Amino acid sequence: MFEVKNPYLTREDAKVGDGATICMYSDRHACTIIKKTKCTITLQRDKATRLTDPIIIPGGFAGHCINNNDIEYDYEVDLNGGTDIAYWSEKNNWYAIWHGTTPVVPGRHEHYDYNF
């Protein structure tokens, strides 16, 4: 039998200065961990600059983005970026904001869902 690695940000993975991503339904927000305590991490939004333009074709309600999952971003720390506090969940073994409903994953993975 094999063990499946937890895809969410764990205590061992969370280090000040590292990138993290807040998962918001189908959107994702890239952040930097700026503070860590026993039960929380403070995340500051990064500046994410889109490198690839979305390709929208007519259809549906207003159009459809055919390269939605292929859009690339460049990241830089934003000292004026907004902050969120993620709390450690012993039950789920991950950090999350908003009462555990919004998990945090390691690395920077900005994503805007143009089809929503």
CA nearest neighbour of 108 among 19, 28, 37:
19
Q: How many domains does the chain have?
A: 1
Domain membership of residue 5 (yes or no) is: no
Average pLDDT over residues 65-75: 94
State the Cα–Cα distance between residues 101 and 23, nearest whole angstrom: 9
Asked whether 40 and 88 are in contact (CB, 8 A), the reply is yes
Domain membership of residue 81 (yes or no) is: yes
Segment of 18-32, 50-64, 88-102 carrying the highest mean pLDDT: 18-32
For residue 3, pLDDT beyond 70: no
Domain membership of residue 11 (yes or no) is: no
pLDDT, residue 2, reads 58
Average pLDDT over residues 52-77: 90
For residue 4, pLDDT beyond 70: no
Domain membership of residue 114 (yes or no) is: no
Average pLDDT over residues 40-62: 92
Check residues 12 and 62 and name the one with the higher pLDDT: 12
Q: DSSP string covering 34-88, please?
A: EEE-SSEEEEEEPEEEESS---EES-TTT-EETTGGG--EEEE--TT--EEEEEE
Domain membership of residue 82 (yes or no) is: yes
Domain that holds residue 26: 19-106
Domain membership of residue 73 (yes or no) is: yes
